[in-house]
Amino acid sequence: MINYEKPWLSTGETLVCFGDSITASVTGYTAILQKHLAKKNIKVINAGRGGDKTPWALTRLESDVIALKPDAVSIFLGTNDCAVGRAQWADEPMVSPEAYKSNLIWIIHLCRLKNINKFSITPPLGRFEGQARLDYGDIIAEYCSAAREAASIMKVQCVPADAACDMERQKHNAGDTILLTVDGIHLNEKGNSLVADTMLTTWGLQ
């Protein structure tokens, strides 16, 4: 049921941004979306939660998304799914790329049962930076592919913010240095702007 018409959102509609701490940040990409889309009378609700992974996200889907009765849902989860079972989260069960993909599919399916029909999925952002890359490894690509597969299976928008970040890193020849985050994981101003711009461009709302 992918909506290829642009713009993806219309005046008077409500968008819920469902994600982890990258979404939850009060100065992050969600704040940029809120400011930009308010000019078009589109309400943006921040439903991010720090440390969230897709198994946990499913447990709060009803209260934090479905109960709000939004017109659209932007799903940006996966960074923590990549990291659990490793480094400081070594005591937690791993979420495999296949489980991650399945959880994304279930999020969309359960929302559709409640007549929510517009979705976009943003894959994790390509790679960790700095020390985080040493801690968690070079594993995100598998989860990015899983997110794209989920979007294809469910016929929803895929926001290629991972590709945009990769291109930005290549442009600056960043290597293993920190460019788009403050700590290797959480986005800095440049990273948040890049994610928000990629979302708005994908949705035809730039």
pLDDT tens for 66-103 read 999 999 999 999 999 999 888 888 899 999 999 999 99
Q: Summarize the confidence of residues 155-180 as an average pLDDT.
A: 92
DSSP letter at 93? P
Percent of the chain with pLDDT over 90: 83
Domain over 14-199 is classified CATH 3.40.50.1110 = yes
Q: How confident is the model at residue 23 (pLDDT cuts 50, 70, 90)?
A: very high
- ∠137-191-131 over CA atoms, to 5°? 30
Nearest Cα neighbor of 86 from 95, 78, 77 is 95
The residues that bridge with 157 in the sheet, in sequence order, are: 120
Residue 57 CA to residue 49 CA, distance in Å, equals: 9
Cβ neighbours for 23, distance < 8 A, ≥ 6 positions apart: 17, 29, 30, 46, 47, 48, 76
Residue 83 CA to residue 177 CA, distance in Å, equals: 19
Mean pLDDT of the residues in the chain: 94
Asked if residue 139 has pLDDT above 90, the reply is: no
Asked if residue 6 has pLDDT above 80, the reply is: no
Q: Identify the pLDDT of residue 197.
A: 98
| Residue extents of the structural domains in the chain | 14-199
Asked if residue 26 has pLDDT above 60, the reply is: yes
Q: Summarize the confidence of residues 166-188 as an average pLDDT.
A: 91
pTM over 0.85: yes
Q: Identify the pLDDT of residue 126.
A: 81
- ∠92-105-191 over CA atoms, to 5°? 70
Cβ neighbours for 33, distance < 8 A, ≥ 6 positions apart: 15, 17, 44, 196, 199, 200
* pLDDT tens column, 107-123: 999 999 999 999 999 99
Q: In what order do the strands lie in the sheet with 43-48?
A: 43-48, 14-19, 72-76, 118-121, 157-158
Q: Identify the pLDDT of residue 56.
A: 96
Asked if residue 136 has pLDDT above 70, the reply is: yes
